[in-house]
Each structure stands twice: as C-alpha cells, then as structure tokens.
Structure 1
Amino acid sequence: MKNVYDQVRIFYEEETDWGVPVKKDWVEGFLRQKAWQGANDKELQMLWQNIERFLLYLAYAGMNDLDEVTLAEYSTGIVWLAEQMPAFKKNVANVRQYFAVLIEFYQYLKNKKVIFDLTLLEDAARVIAGGKKLDLTAAIEGSDTAALFDADVDQTLEKISSVITEDMSQKLNGVVERLMVKLGSYFHQENFNDDFDRALYLYTGPFEGVPDNDHDEFWLGFWDYFLFDYHLLQTDKTPLTYFFQNACDKLTSDEREILKNLLNAKFSVFYISKVLNQDWVECTNLFTDETFQLPIPNFDYKTLKRLLFFGHVFAQGMIMINYVTSIEVSPNLRKRIKEEILRQQQMLFVGQSSSDLNEFFSRHAQAVRHSIDVLVTLAKVNVINPEYLDREYPIIAGNSIPSNEVLKKIDQVAADYRFSAYDIRQMKKLWHDYCQVAKVVIRKSGTWAAALLYAYAQINHISHVIVEELARDLEVSASSVRSNRNKLFDALTLNRFDARYISEEGFMYLIFYPNT
C-alpha cells in the first residue's frame, strides 16, 4: 500500500480537472501536523480517506468555495457518499468519524487563516449525527434561513426563475444559506472587530450583555440588526450595502440576486389585521396603515391578532431573513407604542428638519426595538422624558464658512476616540451652526476641535472622552477646551440629548435614561 502522502499526490494529479476547492498543500500540512502529534500510518490513512470522500463530493457538487457548503449540502453529501462508495456505511459511528475528521481539518485551516469559521460544520455534525440515529432531513428542513412566516422562496426570487420546483426551492434555500455563511465569515475578519463590539453594545443596550450560553435566538436577532440596520464606523454604510459594494465578486450569480433582494428590505412594525383564509393573513403597518399579505404564521388563532411583529419586509411584502420578532400586546399598548415612536420621530424632525419616518427607521431601527421592549417589559408610561420631546431650537441662518483647519483636526482625531463617520458629520454640523451664530476667533484649531469632541460627547452621554486627555493629545490647555465648550453650549443653547446633534449611542442612552 502506498503511504498516505503518495495517495494525496495521486489524487490531486488525477482530479486536477475537477476544480477541488482545497489545495494539496493544505491537506499535506494537516496530515504532517497529525503525524508530528503522534498519529500512526493507520490513523493517517483514516484521516485522508474521510477528507478524500469530502473532496470528491465537493467536486461532484461543483463547490468552489468551502464557505458555500451548507447544512443541506453536508446532509446531501452523506447520502451521495453512501450511494457511490460501498465502503462508506451510512451509520452513526461512521458519520460521526467523518465529521470529526472534517472538524479537525477545518480547525487546522482556521488556524492557518484559510477559513474564518467552522460553526456551520459543527452544527451539521450535531444535527445529522448528534442523536442516537442519523437525521439526514433535519439539515434541510431546519435551515437557518427559515423565517417566522414560511415564505415561499420562489416568490422572492422571481428574477431567477419563473417556474420553481420543490427541488429547486430547496436548492435556493441552500443558496441563501451559503450567502449568510459568506456574510458571517466576511464580517468576522479582524478589521471589523471594533464594529462588531459596538454593534453588540448598541443591540443589547447599556444595562444588558451578551448571554453567557449559546443562545441561538439572541444571535439570530443580532445578525438581523447588524446586517440590515447597523452603520459601520468608517463608512456609515450598513454591512449589507458595504458587502455588496466591496465583495460582490465573491458571490455566485444566484447569491448576488438574493443579496439585491435583501438590500430592498425595509424595517417595519406591523400586526395582523385580518385572517383571509387558512393560508394567508392581511397585515397592517403600525405607522403608515399600509396593508399587505403574508403566509399565515404558526401561532394559535386566538393569539394572532394580539401579536406585534417587527423585522424586515420586502417591498412586495415578503420576509426572507433569519429572524422576525413577535410580542403579544393589547390594543391599548399597541397604540401607546405607535404614539411613543412617532413622538421620537417628531423630536428628530424638529431638531434636524429632515427626518421623516423612513429616515428615522433607517438610522434608529434599534432604538425602535429598545423602545418597544421598554414599553412592554417595564410598563413605563413614556420611554423618553417629555422634556426632551418638547424642546424648541433656534433657527440657524447665515452662510459663514467654518474654519477648514478645525474640520481637518476633527477628521484626524475623532476616529481615535471611537467616533463614527456619522458622528464626525454631526460634529461638523455643530461647528457649522456655531460659526453662523457667533463671532469665532481661532488661535489654535486644536482647541476648537477638542471642544467640539468634548461638547458632542457630553450631548450624547459618552463618558470615555476626557477633557484632559483631549487637551494632551491635541497639545492644548484643558482650560481653553472647557472655555470653548461653554461657548458652544451658550451660543447654540445646547442640552444633553440635543436632537440636532444626537448620535446613535446618544439615542440609545436617551431611551434608557431615567425619567426624572
């Protein structure tokens, strides 16, 4: 019998035309590492045998990327191997060994930075071979892409095909799943760590943290928020938009088509107003009264009309995301939720003069989620103190051109203090407005830049911006920063949570700030 490395060499020489998405060097490196760790020839043969089976299925299925392999594909692969290779017995022990080898191999690839995640593989192993019997249907039927409403995939993907068979529908579910895996791997890269941490904080709020245990519901909800509603620090784009603009070449044509559909999704709060028949319900948008139809969700009939849903709905009224939240509320509470959110939107409209409901949801969808949660769980009369809702602001008129040197300083230092691109725009607006209402004398541009950062932080209840540190970093005096900060507050009658300059963090703090 040839040694294992000869077998690997022969495999790659014979299967060159198959386009296997795993390099020969990766396999050899993994086997050599196992040999160094003490694996004998028999164990190495077993490792290679299982990897070879996996590679043969990938070649058969036309997979060009390990990230494309979904739960459904892992399940289908087991069936295919059992049919094509008599030596591969379709039993729990054999399949567990197969997955154990793949998990070890994937861990090696992850350590080498070839892949970013092996969670989907581990989930497949658990679903398919984690019980007393093999479950080769759960991976397909229990796809993570299943929505609260069992939307028919072919309606969402009309551009791909006008006639969708049941087999094609399952395949499209696999395409959606592969897309989600690629999105997850892409945003798990190190350069998005700050965004990921910030998004978690905005999602949980200031008084909660990430659950200690592996809560699927929490992470489904988080990824829904992160992909659709979060705004990246450096670009202020949502992750979906950023991925579409910068990484679309990593996708297949079907995946790109689905991503285009996802980009059209709108955050919506709605309830069921009418049960049309055993298959369909009529839904009403809580804020616009627009109606649309959806497949009937899997709830008790008596409960349906007491549920309030919030999630992302396509223009054609089709949900196709991982997570939609539902809560049971009374008609009175539903009315209070509507009134509270509209008051918040009106507060921003008064402060910023251009925040219509769509803009409000686009910027502050997570604030809407938090507000609903506060009203439901804490039984508060108001989420936001009426004091903040009833403010009036001076009209800013004038065309004075702000000092460009101050703007440059803001660009240079704001990101170092973890401010986002949106925050920087808001600071520049603050500087512009001040220059219209006051005579500005600039001795050191750094003093005014530090004052703007400090004032903006105080407006938005941000505690990590310390005036002494700002002064030291910009080589100015702390007393001059405080003096200029006071000038800003006095000239523009600034207040905490000022709607003209409120940030995403500031809006979150406003919701959780005590009603005093």
Structure 2
Amino acid sequence: MTNIKNVYDEVRVFFNEESEWDSAIKREWIEGFLRQKAWQGATDDTLRDAWRNLHMFVLYLAYSGETVVDEMTASEYSLAVEWMIVQIEDFKPNIKTVRHLFDVLQEFYSYLAAKKLIAETTELQQAAEFMTGGKRLKFIEAGTEEEELQGLFDEGEASSTKTLLTMPKDLGRIVGEAVERLMLKFSAYFQQENFVDDFDRALMLYLGPLGQMPEDENDDEFWLGFWDYFLFDYHLLSNDRTPLVQFNMDYSDRLSAEERKILQELMGAKFTVFYVESVINQDWVECINLLTEEKFRLPNPNYDYKLVKKLLFYGHVFLQQEEKELVMINFITSVEISNNLRRRIKEEIIRQKAMLELQQSGTTWSDFVQRHANAVRHTIDLLATWARVNVTSYAQVERKFPQPPSDGNAIIINSEVTELIGRFMPQFGYSRHDAVLAQKMWQDFAHMGTVNVRKPAAWASAVIFSYSQINSGESEVPAETLAEEMAVSKSSISVNRAKIFEVLKLERYDPRYLSEEGMVALLYDLQ
C-alpha cells in the first residue's frame, strides 16, 4: 500500500499509479501550482481542496479526450461540469460548488499563463461568469456564440461596485481562500466612520514622506501590501492596538468557530525579514531570519535556485500549530540584492533597534518589529531601490544623553501637566503612543530639576510643541494653534520650549521620544 503523507504524495500517486494516459495537464504543472500556493500561505487543507478540484478536471479531460486545455470553449467547460455532476459522487449540482471549481481553475490557469504554459484563459472566464455570475447555476448550450457570452461578461463587470477602502480583487493571494470571508468582514468593519482618521494616517505612514500613490489607484499589488501593513502592524490612534487585535475584541463573538480559529492564527503572525539559505528537498527550503539569525523551513517556492539565493523576503509568517511548521501568510515582498547590501540593511535596522532601546530599555527584536515594521519596509525599499548609502544616523545612536535621577531620588511630577498632555494630544491628531512619549518627555524634564508650574497648560503646550518639532519637522503643530486651543500665550510656550530643549539636550529625531512618524521621516531626511 502506498504511504500518502501530503498532497504532493497524492498527486504523485495519481500520475504514477492511476493515470494511464497522456494528460493535457502535466503533473509538474500541478505540483508547481501547489507549491506556489503553499509559498503564499495556503494550508494543507486548502492545497488538498485545490488538488481535489483539479483531479476532477483531469479526469474529465481523460474522458473527453481533450489534449490542449486553452483551446476549450466555454460550452465545453459547461459540459465538463455536467459530467462531474453525474460522475463524481460528492460533486453537488449547486452554484457554490461550481463557482468554487471555477475559482480553482482560474487560479491554476493564471499560474500556467504566468509560466507561459498556456496562452488563453478567456473561455474559462466567460464560462465562469455565465454559469455562476447570477443567483442560480446556468449551463451553456453547445454552439452558443462567443459574442453573446462576452456581452454578458462585460455587463457583469460594469455592475461591480467599489468600496471606500479598496480591497484587492484576488483576496485569495493574501491569506488563502479559507479566510476570504474574514477579509471581507475586516473591510466592512474598518469602513466605519470612526476609523477614517486611522486609515488616512496608516496610508500616510505606508507611503512615507514622498506620499506617492501608484498611477493606478486600484493597483492590487499596492493594496495587498497596504492591507498587510494596516491589519498586522499599524497602531490605532485611540489605544495603540493593532487593527487585528481591535477587530478580535469587538467582533469575535459574531464570527463562526472556524473564523475565530483563523483569526487567532492570524494574530500570531510575526513580521519577518528573511532569506533562503538552502534547498532541503523538492518540498522545503531552509530560511534564515535576517535580524535574529533563527532558522526555519518554508515550502519550496519553486523558483530558480540562483535567483532565490539573491532575494530578500519580508512579510508575515506564523507557526501552524498542528503541523509545527512555519508557513507564509499575507503579502510577501521580495527584492533582489547582493550579500553586501543584505548586510548593510541589517546594520541599518540594528541601529534603529538601538534607537528604540534608548526609549524602551531591554528592547527585543520582537518589540522592535512590533513597533517599527513599517520603518523596516521603508529601509529595505530605500536601500534596495533608491540606492541610498545609509538611512539611519550614527550620531543619534552614539550621543550621550542627560540622565534623570533614579526613581528613588525623583521629584513628584505635576500630574496636571501629564493629564493635559494626554487630553489635548488626540485633539491635535496624535496617537495614544505619542501621548505616552510626550508624557515621558515631561517626566524626564521634571526629574532633572525644580520646575515652577504656575500654569500647567503652559508647560503641557510647550511639551507638545517640543514633541512635534522633534518628530514632524515641517508638519509641527504651530505655536499659535497650541496657544489658542490651550488658552495660553505664545510667548510662554516659546520660553518653556527653550527650557525643555536645553535641559534634555533635545535634537530633531531624538531617539528617546521618536514616534513612528518620526522614525519614517528620519529615513528620508538627507541631512
């Protein structure tokens, strides 16, 4: 008896032991397609489901005698479905089953077309649109004119709608078909009005100071990358949580058990920068985390080995508990770089981590990527694409900073100033994390000497002004605005700001109080 351990074994057994004909679809095509899906994060169940649908189609091709799949007409695909309904015991004659079959076939054909193994996919697309584009399953009579089907297809395209937050068409590429429904719920949830400011801020952070949107604002590649950042790495203004965590808190009780399980797995994803060290076998490659040097296995991407050795990958991976293997999810980006550039990228990110350590003692790599995954993305892009020599200042890391006394000798901080900072900063568009950093600035300043606080708002506004100058540059909050909103004089803000800068020896992009916006701005500053 043949020992079948995984989906690749199933494919091998079928073609070696059960297939007695020269199939129009080659074994290596299917294996390559499944490996690519595994590389994109598909689970074993998803891979087996894809093979099951392809298996049925291969059986039909054997029955019909078709030898060239891209010469099949739309009506022949309809005949294939009719044959499956009769011949395949558990193939249900409903629109959901047939639509799923076409989804798998279209994804498979897209893979073949990208590999230039087939040239034509229009007939399959037309068959799928005609048969499953309505509320009930329809079949195509032999001899139906192509123009008639094309007209129906165009009509369906014209009726599509666009959401406020642009979602990519090919959602399956993000995290596999199993979570497409969940992604749609993410989209609906984050289109609520209370997330508009967060969406705008996230887009600004993702684009960076240059703010260049792609020419095609519906570019799937762009929105795949953005949603990867927004869901997993962005921190919400009001509470500093990631959107995934917030969604879980607010919405999990409305999810199915399967969706909750998927959500928990997604929440365990870790942003990782890695490269392929070696090919273990035809199914697996050994990868190395660039930052921690940890080793882990991933499904073989089936790339040319010489090319894959030159690629640096970054995206999210998570430990699939049942298989105890790391698999990719979401949008994995790759850039072709030299070993020397890979080393330089690591050195830059190490300096960025050192900057965070000045702000947060004992920072681990996990802490760093949780806070600054977006800065890592920009760093790689700037060094690999823009050919920058470096993006992180040595001077900021090597500076000697004045140190407040230990907690045992610290004076009592005026709590009114701290409270005002926390209350007013959100009104000026700052995040909860920004408020925490600004409050720390006030605490450090107050610990270093006696502060005569006659009017707490004058000091709170000066702290906010100082914080904005460190992190925002040209986008700093004007002193006039602070004075008006906080009912203090502009001169008091200026005087107190000068004292804070002098005592703390503040400079632009001071790492002790550097925000996520400040870190990204630093990378693009050519000074």
TM-score by length of 2: 0.69
Task: Assess, with a 3 A threshold, how the Cα gap between structure 1 residues 411 and 119 changes in structure 2: closer, same or farther.
Answer: closer
In the aligned structure 2, how far is the partner of 1:311 from the partner of 1:369?
9
Residue 424 of structure 1 is aligned with which of 431, 435, 455?
A: 435
Equivalent position amino acid for 2:454 in 1: R
Task: Determine whether 1:366 maps to 2:377.
Answer: no
Task: Determine whether 1:505 maps to 2:490.
Answer: no
Task: Assess, with a 3 A threshold, how the Cα gap between structure 1 residues 395 and 246 changes in structure 2: closer, same or farther.
Answer: same
SS in 2 for 1:277: coil
For residue 217 of structure 1, what is the aligned residue in structure 2? 221
In the aligned structure 1, how far is the partner of 2:346 from the partner of 2:298?
22
In the aligned structure 1, how far is the partner of 2:186 from the partner of 2:469?
35
Task: Determine whether 1:206 maps to 2:209.
Answer: yes
Equivalent position amino acid for 1:218 in 2: F
Equivalent position amino acid for 2:210 in 1: F
Equivalent position amino acid for 2:488 in 1: V
For residue 146 of structure 1, what is the aligned residue in structure 2? 173
- Give the deviation of 1:461 after TM superposition: 2.7
- Give the deviation of 1:180 after TM superposition: 1.1
SS in 2 for 1:293: strand
- Give the deviation of 1:404 after TM superposition: 1.9
- Give the deviation of 1:256 after TM superposition: 1.1
For residue 192 of structure 2, what is the aligned residue in structure 1? 189
Task: Determine whether 1:277 maps to 2:289.
Answer: no
For residue 361 of structure 2, what is the aligned residue in structure 1? 353
Task: Assess, with a 3 A threshold, how the Cα gap between structure 1 residues 280 and 491 changes in structure 2: closer, same or farther.
Answer: same
- Give the deviation of 1:416 after TM superposition: 1.4
Correspondence 1:31-430 to 2 at 5 A:
79=131, 93=148, 97=152, 100=155, 123=169, 144-146=171-173, 173-213=176-216, 214-315=218-319, 316-397=324-405, 398-430=409-441
Structure 2's unaligned 5+ residue stretches are 1-91, 107-124
Task: Assess, with a 3 A threshold, how the Cα gap between structure 1 residues 215 and 401 changes in structure 2: closer, same or farther.
Answer: same
Equivalent position amino acid for 1:358 in 2: S
Query: CA offsets per residue over residues 153-204 of structure 1, 9 Å max, x none?
Result: 9xxxxxxxxxxxxxxxxxxx43311111111221122221111111111111
- Give the deviation of 1:411 after TM superposition: 2.6
Query: CA offsets per residue over residues 403-437 of structure 1, 9 Å max, x none?
Result: 22222222322111110010011111111111111
In the aligned structure 1, how far is the partner of 2:518 from the partner of 2:301?
36
Task: Assess, with a 3 A threshold, how the Cα gap between structure 1 residues 489 and 385 changes in structure 2: closer, same or farther.
Answer: same
Equivalent position amino acid for 1:496 in 2: R
Residue 476 of structure 1 is aligned with which of 488, 493, 502?
A: 488
SS in 1 for 2:327: coil
SS in 1 for 2:382: helix
Task: Determine whether 1:491 maps to 2:503.
Answer: yes
Task: Assess, with a 3 A threshold, how the Cα gap between structure 1 residues 77 and 495 changes in structure 2: closer, same or farther.
Answer: same
SS in 2 for 1:314: strand
Are the aligned partners of 1:144 and 1:322 in contact in 2 as well (CA < 8 Å)?
A: no
Equivalent position amino acid for 1:145 in 2: G
- Give the deviation of 1:487 after TM superposition: 1.2
Query: CA offsets per residue over residues 99-150 of structure 1, 9 Å max, x none?
Result: 957975x86xx9xxxx978967xx5xxxxxxxxxxxxxxxxxxx53336xxx
Query: CA offsets per residue over residues 360-405 of structure 1, 9 Å max, x none?
Result: 1100001011111111123233211222221122222233232222
In the aligned structure 2, how far is the partner of 1:431 from the partner of 1:85?
66
Structure 1's unaligned 5+ residue stretches are 1-56, 63-69, 124-142, 148-152, 154-172
In the aligned structure 2, how far is the partner of 1:183 from the partner of 1:438?
49
In the aligned structure 2, how far is the partner of 1:117 from the partner of 1:100?
24
Are the aligned partners of 1:116 and 1:189 in contact in 2 as well (CA < 8 Å)?
A: no
For residue 467 of structure 1, what is the aligned residue in structure 2? 479
In the aligned structure 2, how far is the partner of 1:205 from the partner of 1:411?
26
Are the aligned partners of 1:82 and 1:89 in contact in 2 as well (CA < 8 Å)?
A: no
In the aligned structure 2, how far is the partner of 1:443 from the partner of 1:304?
64
Are the aligned partners of 2:411 and 2:447 in contact in 1 as well (CA < 8 Å)?
A: yes
Task: Assess, with a 3 A threshold, how the Cα gap between structure 1 residues 393 and 83 changes in structure 2: closer, same or farther.
Answer: closer
Task: Assess, with a 3 A threshold, how the Cα gap between structure 1 residues 99 and 341 changes in structure 2: closer, same or farther.
Answer: same
- Give the deviation of 1:255 after TM superposition: 1.2
Segment of structure 1 superposing worse, 362-371 or 377-386: 377-386
Give the paired residue count: 400
In the aligned structure 2, how far is the partner of 1:81 from the partner of 1:502?
51
Task: Determine whether 1:453 maps to 2:464.
Answer: yes
Task: Assess, with a 3 A threshold, how the Cα gap between structure 1 residues 194 and 119 changes in structure 2: closer, same or farther.
Answer: closer
SS in 1 for 2:451: coil
- Give the deviation of 1:78 after TM superposition: 6.4
Query: CA offsets per residue over residues 271-327 of structure 1, 9 Å max, x none?
Result: 100111222111011121111111111422210111110111113553343310101
Once superposed, what is the RMSD of the aligned Cα atoms?
3.2
In the aligned structure 1, how far is the partner of 2:138 from the partner of 2:234?
50
Task: Assess, with a 3 A threshold, how the Cα gap between structure 1 residues 118 and 95 changes in structure 2: closer, same or farther.
Answer: farther
Are the aligned partners of 2:422 and 2:436 in contact in 1 as well (CA < 8 Å)?
A: no
In the aligned structure 1, how far is the partner of 2:133 from the partner of 2:205?
46
For residue 39 of structure 2, what is the aligned residue in structure 1? none
Equivalent position amino acid for 2:378 in 1: H
- Give the deviation of 1:353 after TM superposition: 1.8
Are the aligned partners of 1:145 and 1:322 in contact in 2 as well (CA < 8 Å)?
A: no
Are the aligned partners of 1:145 and 1:321 in contact in 2 as well (CA < 8 Å)?
A: no
TM-score by length of 1: 0.70
Are the aligned partners of 2:465 and 2:476 in contact in 1 as well (CA < 8 Å)?
A: no
In the aligned structure 2, how far is the partner of 1:182 from the partner of 1:317?
28
Equivalent position amino acid for 1:332 in 2: N
SS in 2 for 1:235: coil
SS in 1 for 2:368: helix
Equivalent position amino acid for 1:380 in 2: R
In the aligned structure 1, how far is the partner of 2:430 from the partner of 2:129?
47
SS in 2 for 1:268: strand
In the aligned structure 1, how far is the partner of 2:388 from the partner of 2:463?
34
Task: Assess, with a 3 A threshold, how the Cα gap between structure 1 residues 309 and 301 changes in structure 2: closer, same or farther.
Answer: same
SS in 2 for 1:183: helix
Task: Assess, with a 3 A threshold, how the Cα gap between structure 1 residues 95 and 309 changes in structure 2: closer, same or farther.
Answer: same
Equivalent position amino acid for 2:331 in 1: Y
Task: Assess, with a 3 A threshold, how the Cα gap between structure 1 residues 89 and 394 changes in structure 2: closer, same or farther.
Answer: farther
Segment of structure 1 superposing worse, 493-502 or 293-302: 293-302
SS in 2 for 1:212: coil
In the aligned structure 2, how far is the partner of 1:182 from the partner of 1:512?
35
Equivalent position amino acid for 1:374 in 2: L
In the aligned structure 1, how far is the partner of 2:165 from the partner of 2:230?
18
Equivalent position amino acid for 1:338 in 2: K
For residue 36 of structure 2, what is the aligned residue in structure 1? none
